[in-house]
Amino acid sequence: MSTSTPNKTHNGLSRRTFLQSSSLTVAFSLMPVLPGMAQAPARPVLPGALNNNRMLDGWLRINPNGTVTMCTGKVEIGQGILTALSQIVADELDVGVQRLVVISGHTGVTPNEGMTAGSLSIQDSGTALRFACAEARSLLLEAAALQLQTQAYSLTVRDGNIFTADGVQRTSYWSLTNAPSLQREVSAKVAPKPSSQHKLIGSSLPRRDIPGKVTGAEAYVQDMRLPDMLYGRVVRPPAPRAKLISVDLATVRAMPGVQAVVRDGHFLGVAAVREEQAIAAARALAANARWQEPGDLPPSGPALFAHMKQQDTADSVVSNKTDAAAASRGVKQLQAEYTKPYQSHASLGPSCAVAQWADGKLVVWSHTQGVYPLRGDLAKGFRMPLANVTVIHKEGSGCYGHNGADDVAMDAALVARAAGGKPVKLQWSREDEFAWEPLGSPMSMKLNASLDAQGKVVDWSHELWSYAHSTRPNDPDGVNLLGAWHIENPLPAGPSRNIPQPSGGSDRNALPLYVFPQQKVTNHLLKHMPIRTSALRTLGAYANVFAIESFMDELAATAGIDPLTFRLNHMVDPRAREVIERTAAMAKWRPGVAKPPARLTGVLKGRGMGFSKYKNLAIYTAVVADVEVDTRSGVVRVTHAWSANDAGLVINPDGLVNQVEGGIIQSASWTLMESMRHSTQRNLVRNWADYPIMRFSDVPAVHVELINRPDERPLGAGEGSQGPAVAAIANAFADATGRRLRNLPFTVEHVKQVLS
């Protein structure tokens, strides 16, 4: 691809071609601020991701061919982020979106913004681009004013064309003879446009990434085809920490089309001319490999949570607010425990990567959510200089979180190293994905509260047990790639650790936004992971909000107060109150106190609500859900969901609505169906029959409203609705049946047991 073609995403663009496309700079200047790098004491803190990527030309270019190159370290994973960021850039620069050339997630070319995770893309990358573009526009107008011998404030810009006060076009961004160099640090002293001047921000522009996905273009890494490309497969052990005893490589090497067979310690892989040949070779390799299995996995089912509480933990008190006088007024006590199992990302497309070696250098195309972190682990895994590794993002067909995207990149590179310089596309199988991707951690939460005579909570405690929720690549103390653990000279995995508050990991959203006079929240992080866990969408927030909001309903019932009123009685944040009240109005909530039905027969209907402010610093979301419970079959069906949301300044309304809707549907699937099963020997889930997910026929009618606040900063929104949705479903079940489900998921067997 050439940078002369506008409105394209150029992840395959070479550094040399990219540099030649701009006349405003002589070198691409990312200059990320690395840990330990000396800084001048007076260096100002810059907004968003600018603080670690301070060079203006690291974010955008004004090209002589009439295009603008926008760079971002955030990547498209189906959330529409490149469309929203394009709207920000086009609005701030006063250019049409059709002029934008977007480069995303390319080491050495785009800013190092770490991971695309945590609903931070608009907050971090969007903020950086707003300030960078505002400053670039100011510089360009100053240059135009000097050239035209007028004042900058008298000039206007339309689609990059610069007009004087008389309405005559005099020049343009790309024809300025005295164009300023953008190879300078951003000062962030030029304020972005006020909301009153936005033309694109706040409108639902069509998604950049959708056309190719619906017309059969090369949309995903799974679609890539390079000249002389080979097809790879990997053969994994049958269980974590299994050891390879013996394997017959010679027979597999003689199979049709096989170009390479790799054994490196306990790592096995093949490459062949055709994909079906690689699959056949991998099956033959697996059939004759002999392994020793340790049989050291924890128990499954309810016994898992008792087991977790007996393990070695790193304990931390997240909140400890004391008010003995208030707590002494408690007259009613309530305690409950809630659990969430291991869960899979269940990506529709199993992970895939393309790798190629040349002259001791490695290039990898991956659907990783962090090209720079992956580059760091690949360099450590292959014990090679960081500068010799390039990682280019190529979208994958499905994932929010840490699935097999990074691991398969290491697999592809290991096999490609034996392929004589030819590129290798290595595709995981469905079995590989279910058995070896990092899982969402199981969690156990124990809540206690006291109510005073007026039904107010005067004492609250929340204690939780969980494995780590983020073991992504580039840990300073290890290498978090499967292949690096299985090779002859393995590298250690990074240790189990928590993401610190205010974002939190396992304790994300364990701090309620409600106001309680006495409150204690304790996090027990399990130090050892017998089954690898990492980031599944929302991290600990899904389970913590499920527990908190279920407990709020149980307390409301104990106090004899309507759940909506009970929540508002403990909420002082005006934006939270508006979201809760708006959602209730959307659903036509009728105040009342839940009462058990006269008979648990037939199809019972119920309604429940849930609320959270994601991470207590991002989107405000409330959900009301209607459910039907078939007492005979045990099937729980979510029929409708309503949700009001406050994410501050809304960039792309349709994109934000899609995120909320998708989160509610994903949460409903987690809540009603999804659980990974294992024995003490190995994972028992291998295909969709073992791990059902929600089908289109089961999707509820979802109604979403946005509370746009143009004068507020935009808040992260991608993971805000999952927690409120599970709580709303759980509370609706209790409303319908008078029985409480505290252990996820709400399977047919579980429901029948509770109703019996």
The two beta strands, 701-706 and 636-646, are parallel
Please list the alpha-helical segments (H only) found in 173-254: 210-215, 249-253
Angle subtended at Cα 509 by Cα 312 and Cα 324, rounded to the nearest 5 degrees: 80
Q: What is the DSSP letter of 196?
A: G
Please state, in angstroms and rounded to a whole number, the distance separating the CA atoms of residues 139 and 715.
Answer: 29
What number of residues does the chain have? 756
Determine whether domain 443-470+505-755 maps to CATH 3.40.50.2300: no
Please state, in angstroms and rounded to a whole number, the distance separating the CA atoms of residues 275 and 298.
Answer: 37
Please state, in angstroms and rounded to a whole number, the distance separating the CA atoms of residues 310 and 464.
Answer: 13
The two beta strands, 169-172 and 258-264, are unpaired
Please list the alpha-helical segments (H only) found in 511-610: 541-559, 563-569, 574-586
Q: Can you give the pLDDT at residue 579?
A: 98
Residue whose token pair is 């909301």: 195
Q: Which long-range contacts (CB under 8 A, 24 or more apart) does 689-698 make?
A: 690/434, 691/344, 691/346, 691/434, 693/346, 693/669, 694/665, 694/668, 694/669, 698/637, 698/638, 698/668
Please state, in angstroms and rounded to a whole number, the distance separating the CA atoms of residues 563 and 556.
Answer: 6
Q: Can you give the pLDDT at residue 595?
A: 77
Please state, in angstroms and rounded to a whole number, the distance separating the CA atoms of residues 255 and 562.
Answer: 70
| β-strand partners of 290 | 246
How big is the chain by its Cα radius of gyration, in Å?
Answer: 27
Structure tokens at 14: 């070479």
Please state, in angstroms and rounded to a whole number, the distance separating the CA atoms of residues 281 and 274.
Answer: 11
Percent of the chain with pLDDT over 70: 94
Q: What is the pLDDT of residues 96-139, one digit of tens each?
A: 999 999 999 999 999 999 999 988 999 999 999 999 999 999 99
Please list the alpha-helical segments (H only) found in 239-364: 249-253, 275-288, 302-308, 324-327
How many CB atoms within 10 Å of residue 14? Answer: 13
CB under 8 Å to 697, separation ≥6 — which residues? none
How far, rounded to the nearest angstrom, does the alpha carbon of residue 36 sit from its chain's CA centroid?
28
Amino acid at 273: V
The two beta strands, 457-466 and 519-526, are parallel
The two beta strands, 352-358 and 332-340, are unpaired
Q: Can you give the pLDDT at residue 29?
A: 46
Please state, in angstroms and rounded to a whole number, the distance separating the CA atoms of residues 378 and 167.
Answer: 55
Please state, in angstroms and rounded to a whole number, the distance separating the CA atoms of residues 651 and 639.
Answer: 30
Q: What is the DSSP letter of 126?
A: I
Q: What is the pLDDT of residues 700-710, one digit of tens each?
A: 999 999 999 99
Please state, in angstroms and rounded to a whole number, the distance separating the CA atoms of residues 393 and 109.
Answer: 12
The domain locations on the chain are: 15-215, 221-293+345-436, 443-470+505-755
307 touches 688 (CB < 8 A): no
Residue whose token pair is 């899904």: 542
- DSSP codes, 695-719: -GGGPPEEEEEE---TTSPP---TT
- CA–CA distances in Å: residue 9 to residues 124, 409, 513: 20, 21, 40
Structure tokens at 179: 């164009």
Give the CB-side neighbour count of residue 594, counting CA atoms within 13 A: 27
Q: What is the pLDDT of residues 27-76, one digit of tens each?
A: 334 444 444 544 545 689 999 999 999 999 999 999 999 999 999 999 99
- Strand ranges (E), 65-147: 68-72, 100-104
- CA–CA distances in Å: residue 646 to residues 198, 434, 611, 712, 716: 19, 35, 12, 10, 10
- DSSP codes, 354-404: EEEEETTEEEEEE--S-HHHHHHHHHHHTT--GGGEEEEE---SS-SBSSS
CB under 8 Å to 662, separation ≥6 — which residues? none
SS3 category, 83: helix
How far, rounded to the nearest angstrom, does the alpha carbon of residue 127 sit from its chain's CA centroid?
18
What is the chain's mean pLDDT, rounded?
Answer: 93
Q: What is the pLDDT of residues 145-154, one digit of tens each?
A: 999 999 999 9
Question: Does residue 227 have a cis peptide bond before it, meaning omega lies within 30 degrees of 0?
Answer: no
Residue whose token pair is 């290595």: 426
Amino acid at 128: A
CB under 8 Å to 328, separation ≥6 — which residues? none
How many CB atoms within 10 Å of residue 101? Answer: 26
Please state, in angstroms and rounded to a whole number, the distance separating the CA atoms of residues 686 and 466.
Answer: 24
Edge to edge, what strands does the sheet with 100-104 contain? 60-62, 68-72, 100-104
Determine whether domain 15-215 maps to CATH 3.30.365.10: yes
Please state, in angstroms and rounded to a whole number, the distance separating the CA atoms of residues 541 and 523.
Answer: 13
Give the residue from 122, 4, 49, 75 showing the smallest Cα distance to 720: 122
- CA–CA distances in Å: residue 726 to residues 346, 563, 592, 647: 18, 16, 21, 20
Determine whether domain 221-293+345-436 maps to CATH 3.30.365.10: yes
Q: Is the pTM of this model over 0.85?
A: yes
H/E stretch holding 357 reads strand 352-358
Q: Can you give the pLDDT at residue 581?
A: 98
Residues in the chain, pLDDT under 70? 1-42
| Phi and psi torsions of 293, nearest 5° | -100, 135
Widest CA span in the chain: 85
Give the residue from 245, 327, 254, 309 showing the smallest Cα distance to 284: 254
Percentages of the chain per state (helix, strand, coil), in multiples of 5? 30, 20, 45
